[in-house]
């Protein structure tokens, strides 16, 4: 029966998701991780990290030169974060929908930012925006051997 539900995964991707310092301080780690588990994604790596200034500048390289860049680097290095790699079909785009819009005034209820964030810089969660960013961001926080390959038995039901 389950065999008939098996699909060849054509869009399997990995993305870098990070609970930002505000999420850690507010005790929202578990609830944020639950959103991605609820969606059916697979957690392949996870650790608590104090982001260094150098790592922050690599992570947010595309924003270098923008007016909010110095504040952003300050914010992301202001306390520990939870750095994660998650896997799933089309996860890069789908996880950004789970996260909600960057600007909290536009973030929909039901999204992490829509439900929990009240100020734009402190918007709780980071998600890669493209396969290229995801590669760079994962390499900035993880060694290859820290990423675990496994299947979940319920994958064919998702």
Catalytic residue ranges: 126
Selected range binding ligand UDP among 25-33, 46-54, 123-131, 147-155, rule: CB under 6 A: 123-131
CB of 150 to ligand UDP, least distance (A): 28
77 vs 123 by CB, closer to ligand UDP:
123
Report if residue 121 touches ligand UDP, rule: CB under 6 A: yes
Under 8 Å between Cβ of 148 and 44: yes
CB of 92 to ligand UDP, least distance (A): 11
Q: What is the number of residues in the chain?
A: 158
44 vs 112 by CB, closer to ligand UDP:
112
Q: CB neighbours (10 Å) of residue 47?
A: 13
Selected range binding ligand UDP among 49-57, 85-93, 122-130, 148-156, rule: CB under 6 A: 122-130
115 vs 129 by CB, closer to Mg ion:
129
Q: Going residue by residue from 54 to 83, which x/- string records binding to ligand UDP, judged by CB under 6 A?
A: --------------x---x-----------
Pairing of strands 12-19, 125-127: antiparallel
The correct pick among 120, 140, 155, 156 for binding ligand UDP (CB under 6 A) is 120
Distance, CA of 141 to CA of 155 (rounded, Å): 27
- Site residues, Mg ion (CB under 5 A): 129
- Site residues, ligand UDP (CB under 6 A): 68, 72, 102, 120-121, 123, 126, 129
């Amino acid at each position: 029966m389950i065999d008939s539900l098996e699909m060849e995964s054509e869009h399997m991707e990995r993305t870098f998701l990070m609970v930002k310092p505000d999420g850690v301080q507010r005790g929202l780690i578990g609830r944020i991780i639950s959103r991605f588990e609820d969606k059916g994604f697979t957690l392949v790596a996870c650790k608590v990290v104090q982001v260094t200034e150098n790592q922050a500048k690599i992570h947010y390289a595309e924003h270098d030169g923008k007016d909010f860049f110095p504040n952003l680097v300050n914010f992301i290095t202001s306390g520990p974060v939870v750095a994660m790699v998650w896997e799933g079909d089309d996860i890069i785009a789908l996880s950004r929908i789970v996260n909600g819009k960057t600007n909290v005034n536009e973030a929909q209820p039901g999204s992490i930012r829509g439900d929990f964030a009240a100020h734009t810089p402190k918007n709780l969660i980071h998600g890669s925006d493209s396969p290229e960013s995801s590669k760079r961001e994962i390499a900035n926080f993880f060694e290859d051997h820290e990423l675990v390959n496994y299947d979940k038995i319920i994958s064919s039901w998702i």
